[in-house]
């Protein structure tokens, strides 16, 4: 099975520009997560979707960040306007809930974002 697919792998843009990150979860997974990772703060959860519905967006740093999941196979994370402090690696992860236990998350390769 294909893993979580993210695009682009790298993004370099100037401050103030709109940035859109994309994610295709593993087929059959009904939970999707967006994370941001920096050296200073580690891996931070930004937003979590379950069955395409946003459940927890308390990690979204401010109104400049928005995320959508229009269907089970696609999600976007948008930053508008972007700022240099948004520079980080952004990961998308997905998981399923099967059986009794919770299933682990599987991560995409990430998008390395640099805002100049």
Partner 1 sequence: QKEVEQNSGPLSVPEGAIASLNCTYSDRVSQSFFWYRQYSGKSPELIMSIYSNGDKEDGRFTAQLNKASQYVSLLIRDSQPSDSATYLCAVRGPSGGYQKVTFGTGTKLQVIP
Contact positions vs partner 1 (CB under 8 A): 31, 33, 42-43, 45, 48, 50, 55-56, 91, 95, 97, 100-102, 104-110
Q: At closest approach, how far in Å is the CB of 84 from partner 1? A: 21
Return the number of the residue (10 or 17) whose C-beta is nearest partner 1.
Answer: 10
Q: At closest approach, how far in Å is the CB of 20 from partner 1? A: 20
E strands, the chain, where?
5-7, 10-13, 19-24, 31-38, 42-50, 53-56, 65-71, 74-79, 88-95, 106-107, 111-115
Return the number of the residue (2 or 100) whose C-beta is nearest partner 1.
Answer: 100
Do 90 and 7 contact (CB within 8 A), yes or no? no
Return the number of the residue (17 or 103) whose C-beta is nearest partner 1.
Answer: 103
């Amino acid at each position: 099975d294909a893993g979580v697919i993210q695009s682009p792998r790298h993004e370099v843009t100037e401050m103030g520009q709109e940035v859109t990150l994309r994610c295709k979860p593993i087929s059959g997974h009904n939970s999707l997560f967006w994370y941001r990772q920096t050296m200073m703060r580690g891996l931070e959860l930004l937003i979590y979707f379950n069955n395409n519905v946003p459940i927890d967006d308390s990690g979204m740093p401010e109104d400049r960040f928005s995320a959508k999941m229009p269907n089970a196979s696609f999600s976007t994370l948008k930053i508008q306007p972007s700022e240099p402090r948004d520079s980080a690696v952004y990961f998308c992860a997905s998981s399923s809930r099967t059986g009794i236990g919770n299933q682990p998350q599987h991560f995409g390769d990430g998008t390395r974002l640099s805002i100049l």
